């Protein structure tokens, strides 16, 4: 959809071929682990349940998230819009 993907180097990144409605598309998902507070809002909101909370001993509340299967993403943007900490980018 977009030709300009702007995910900084220090972000974790997942790329995949996806379907948005009936159409073939591509997704690039960026995640800034240092900024993430492990609140779990993305995990709760994702309709495809592809964000997962994992233990992180270095973090204040002991958890961060990871993407389990980017190919299931439908680019609804719910996670990106509602991450309170500016950690997610969906292209």
Which positions touch other proteins (CB under 8 A)?
1-2, 6-7, 30, 34-35, 37-41, 44, 60-61, 80-86, 88-91
Q: Please name the residue ranges forming H helices in 1-91.
A: 41-45, 78-82
DSSP string, 24-38: EEEEEEEE-TTT---
Interface with ligand SF4 in residues 3-62 (CB under 6 A): 36-42, 45-48, 50
Query: Which x/- pattern over 61-90 shows residues binding ligand SF4 (rule: CB under 6 A)?
Result: ----x-------xxxxxxx---x-x-xx-x
Burial of 33 (C-beta count, 10 Å sphere; 0-12/13-18/19+): middle
34 binds, among ligand SF4, other proteins, none (CB under 5 to 8 A by kind): other proteins
């Amino acid at each position: 959809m977009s030709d300009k993907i702007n995910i900084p180097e220090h972000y974790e990144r997942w790329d995949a071929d996806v379907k948005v409605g009936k159409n073939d598309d591509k997704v690039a998902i960026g995640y800034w682990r240092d900024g993430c507070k492990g609140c779990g809002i993305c995990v709760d909101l994702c309709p495809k349940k592809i964000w997962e909370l994992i233990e992180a001993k270095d973090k204040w509340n002991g958890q961060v998230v990871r993407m389990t299967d980017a190919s299931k993403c439908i680019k609804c943007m719910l996670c990106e819009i509602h991450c309170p900490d500016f950690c997610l980018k969906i292209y």
